[in-house]
Each structure stands twice: as structure tokens, then as C-alpha cells.
Amino acid sequence: MNLEHKVYKKLLDVPKGQITTYGDLAKAVGLKNGPRIIGKIMNKNPYPVLVPCHRVVMSTGKIGGYAYGEHVKTKMLSDEGIEIINGSIENFDKKLFKF
């Protein structure tokens, strides 16, 4: 299994209404210092409806980028019950999924 598929498969573990960070997802697939790699993989996600890359956010609590625009990512996260104020996730630690 290539790295992209490994990352997408691991991301499927993150349930609706929760988020993970680029760094935590990198660690979960065995990448050290891999947040940028994860970001590039998320940007190329060919299955955005099936693989919820919108649930991957920055470790600072900011939502981070999204191939279809940050406003779309914000809407998708909000629809899943994630509260976002000024581009940051409220109660970040409580919404964070632990692998």
C-alpha cells in the first residue's frame, strides 16, 4: 500500500464531529516531521466525499487550507458540529481525535 492510501485509510478512523491535526495524522502513519507531506496528500485527495480530509486541521486550532477553499472547509466542519470562530476551532482539545 502506498503512502497516500495509508494516509487516506487512517483518516477514515476520524469520526464525524471530530478532527485531527496534520502532525497527528503523520505520526499515526509512521511519518516523523510529516505535517507538510500530509498537507500535500490532503490537497491531492481524489476521494474528498469518501475520505474526510476537511477533518485535518492545524495544531494551532486554525482550520488550515482546503483544496476547495477555506469557506467550504469551514462549512463542512460546522455542519458536523465543529464550532469555528475567526478561523479557529472552539474547544479544540475536546474535538481532537486520538489515534
Active-site annotation holds for 53: yes
What is the DSSP-derived secondary structure letter of residue 21?
E
Q: Which residues contact 86 (CB under 8 A, 6 or more apart)?
A: none
- The pairing of strands 88-89 and 84-85 is antiparallel
Q: From the candidates 42, 53, 63, 77, give the one annotated as an active-site residue.
A: 53
**So which residues are the catalytic ones?**
53
